[in-house]
């Protein structure tokens, strides 16, 4: 555990230096003007070459800032201290932000390229008619494992993670919905359960999993798995794709009980200062060749059906990243739980972390 923590501190320092120095993308503090575009996105979630290309094509200067959770993003946008022009949240948080008037209704007459988006990713429950959001990426939560380190054992389900021989072997994504969701789905319950009894059962179930958890981590989970610091990781599909690219012994699977299907969409927040730039960026990212380049770089699944024609055939035919309809039917989308149950999930998650 100390090895992981110390290595994490070193990597965070080096990554920050490289990010600020080598990739030219700067933090959004005190920078404004008609030629400036403030983008707030997940860490390592866009090809930096595309940022440069967008700047060259449009004349806007991109000020790029990142977040590591929907909740952190929500808090900053809600406070309104920084004038972000475009943000990329997940579906359940978009639903909440719409309800709280934290995002601007889109003018579809200013959007070019929406016809390239697969209809299956439009008009979803969290944003009917895509009045407030435009698809960016989608993916799943699953299990990545190193088949060499597991010596013949191949996990197929969430339940498999509880095996006693996996003590101190699993890296877990550091998120309340994800962790509590594993407990819920192991018991056959919905990822969006609002039943107090089910939630307590899920928390009790996770107590049994605790001895197998090596660490709860975020972006650095990729590095740890690539360097074989752990045998198994509960992670997102795009993170798994990066792991598999760097280490051929890593495999990604969707648990047989089901898992989370998520969507990240582009929204214009109420803090917008440069609406023209926001629409320009949306249209830029809807271009099929741009979307394909971004998907190839990031590793997540693109909702841009035209872009798939520019991706390698082995990529779009891989059912772990572009699941069949039968597999999709076994996945569940997070819903906004409301303040009460969001608090309950967070409290149960914190109790789990304290045990760990």
Output the domain CATH number for residue 256: 3.40.190.10
Assigned domain for 128 exists: yes
Q: SS3 letters for 103-124?
A: ECCCCHHHCCCHHHECHHHCCC
Q: Specify if 294 maps to a domain.
A: no
Claim to verify: residue 145 and residue 220 sit in the same structural domain: yes
Residue 1 lies in a domain: no
Question: Does 304 fall in a domain?
Answer: no
Q: Are residues 197 and 340 in the same domain?
A: yes
Task: List the chain residues with pLDDT less than 50.
Answer: 1-30
Are residues 274 and 189 located together in one domain of the fold? Answer: no
* pLDDT tens-digit series, residues 105-155: 999 999 999 999 999 999 999 999 999 999 999 999 999 999 999 988 999
Instruction: In whole angstroms, give the CA distance from residue 215 to residue 221.
Output: 9
Query: Percentage helix, strand, coil, to 5, in the chain?
Result: 50, 20, 35
- Is 123 domain-assigned? yes
Which run of H or E residues covers position 66?
strand 61-67
| CA atoms of 225 and 205, how far apart (whole Å) | 25
What CA–CA distance (Å, rounded) separates 198 from 174? 21
The answer on 202 and 123 residing in a single domain is no
Domain range spanning residue 173? 139-261+320-355
Claim to verify: residue 257 and residue 345 sit in the same structural domain: yes
CA distance 5 to 264: 29
pTM of the model: 0.84
pLDDT given for residue 219 in this prediction: 80
Looking at the domain assignment, is residue 5 inside a domain? no
Residue 251 and residue 165 share a domain: yes
For residues 171 and 234, give the distance between their C-alpha atoms in angstroms, rounded to a whole number: 6
Per-residue pLDDT, 33:
66
Indicate whether 86 and 158 sit together in one domain: no
Tell whether 213 and 349 lie within a shared domain: yes
| 271 and 337 co-located in one domain | no
Helix, strand, or coil (residue 248) = coil
> Is 92 annotated to bind ligand?
yes
Same domain, 127 and 143: no
Taking the C-alpha atoms of residue 74 and residue 31, their distance in angstroms, rounded to an integer, is: 21
Number of domains in the chain: 2
Q: Are strands 61-67 and 36-42 parallel, antiparallel or unpaired?
A: parallel
**Residue 72 shares a structural domain with residue 185:** no
pLDDT of residue 32: 57
Are 120 and 254 contained in the same domain?
Answer: no
């Amino acid at each position: 555990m100390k090895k992981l923590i110390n290595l994490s501190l070193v990597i965070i320092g080096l990554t920050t230096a490289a990010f600020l120095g080598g990739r030219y993308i700067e933090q959004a503090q005190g920078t404004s003007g008609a030629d400036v575009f403030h983008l707030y996105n997940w860490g390592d979630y866009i090809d930096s070459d595309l940022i440069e290309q967008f700047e060259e094509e449009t004349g806007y200067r991109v000020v790029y800032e990142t977040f590591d959770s929907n909740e952190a993003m929500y808090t900053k946008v809600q406070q309104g201290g920084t004038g972000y022009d475009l943000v990329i949240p997940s579906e359940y948080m978009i639903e909440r932000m719409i309800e709280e008037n934290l995002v601007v209704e889109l003018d579809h007459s200013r959007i070019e390229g929406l016809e390239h988006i697969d209809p299956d990713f439009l008009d979803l429950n969290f944003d009917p008619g895509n009045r407030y959001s435009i698809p960016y990426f989608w993916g799943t939560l699953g299990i990545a494992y190193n088949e060499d380190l597991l010596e013949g054992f191949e996990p197929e389900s969430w339940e498999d993670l509880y095996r006693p021989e996996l003590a101190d072997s699993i890296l877990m994504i550091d998120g309340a919905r994800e962790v509590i969701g594993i407990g819920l789905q192991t018991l056959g319950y919905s990822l969006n359960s609002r039943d107090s009894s089910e939630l307590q059962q899920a928390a009790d179930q996770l107590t049994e999993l605790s001895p197998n958890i090596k660490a709860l981590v975020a972006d650095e989970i990729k590095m740890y798995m690539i360097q074989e610091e752990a045998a198994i990781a509960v992670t997102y599909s795009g993170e798994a794709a990066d792991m598999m690219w760097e280490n051929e012994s890593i495999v990604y699977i969707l648990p047989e009980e089901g898992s989370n299907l998520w969507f990240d969409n582009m929204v214009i927040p109420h803090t917008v200062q440069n609406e023209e730039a926001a629409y320009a960026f949306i249209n830029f990212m809807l271009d099929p060749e741009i979307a394909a380049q971004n998907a190839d770089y990031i590793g997540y699944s693109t909702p841009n059906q035209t872009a798939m024609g520019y991706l390698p055939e082995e990529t779009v035919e891989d059912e772990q990243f572009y699941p069949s309809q039968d597999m999709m039917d076994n996945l569940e989308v997070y819903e906004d739980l409301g303040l009460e149950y969001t608090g309950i999930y967070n409290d149960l998650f914190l109790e789990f972390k304290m045990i760990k």
